[in-house]
Amino acid sequence: MTCELILGGARSGKSGEAERRAAASGLAVTVIATAEALDDEMAARIRRHRADRPAAWRTVEAPLALAATLRREAAPARCLVVDCLTLWLANLLAGAETLPPGADAEALPRFRDERAALLAALPALPGRVILVANEVGLGLVPETPLGRLFRDEAGRLNQAVAACCTQVVFVAAGLPLVLKQG
């Protein structure tokens, strides 16, 4: 199994880099999309992403049950592109605004279970997996407790996933910088 993590900021080119790597793999490609079209703007973004991909690529939606979807879709002759872990995390943190001050996301059973399932599944998946995630910790400290919780959990998730991956790439201004190889 080959597992890669592509990190970057908004509009950095990380999805494009993941798609280039998937196309170059020579494998059948399945995109696992974590976004939900909850408003018109997000629906337009989803349509744009789909239109940019080759017609032969399959798309599977997995806004919450990512590990189960990965286990079901992974195969030796297949490349899976997960776009993106950050939206998946946001989906899992629904309800976090009700946590007591200072609590972490581990208090949310669905978050705790899905995150653990993902980290357990990644090393055992056949084929190639390319995960896309935002690096959100490079900017300002969020003003709200929920914003800070999201930023912290995104950083923790990126670190844990990077530890499972054989390659980690950071994309800025459309340029990939290899952080981990091998």
Residue 104 · residue 96 · CB < 8 Å: no
Cβ-based neighbours of 123, under 8 Å, separated by 6 or more: 1, 3, 164
Give the burial class of 79: count Cβ atoms within 10 A of its Cβ; 0-12 exposed, 13-18 middle, 19 or more buried: buried
CATH code at position 124: 3.40.50.300
pLDDT digits (tens, 9 = 90+) for 92-141: 998 888 888 878 888 889 999 999 999 999 999 999 999 999 999 898 89
Annotated binding site: 8-15, 33-35, 50-53, 61, 83
Give the pair of three-digit tokens for residue 25: 């793999």
Torsion of CA 126, 35, 44, 31, to 10 degrees: 0
- Phi–psi pair at 101, nearest 5 degrees: -55, 135
The pLDDT-based confidence of 30 (bands split at 50, 70, 90) is very high
Residue with tokens 């970057």: 8
What is the rounded distance in angstroms from the CA atom of residue 6 to the CA atom of residue 93? Answer: 22
Q: Determine which one of 49, 110, 112, 151 is catalytic.
A: 49
pTM score > 0.85 for this model?
Answer: yes
Q: Which domain holds residue 162?
A: 2-180
Sequence ranges of the binding site for GTP? 8-15, 33-35, 50-53, 61, 83
User: Average pLDDT of 27-50?
Assistant: 90
- Distance separating alpha carbons of residues 159 and 92, to the nearest angstrom: 18
Give the residues across from 22 on adjacent strands.
none
Please give the tally of structural domains in the chain: 1
> Can you read off the two tokens belonging to residue 125?
């998946």
Cα–Cα distance between 106 and 99 in angstroms, integer? 10
49 is catalytic: yes
Name the helix (H) or strand (E) containing 5.
Answer: strand 2-8
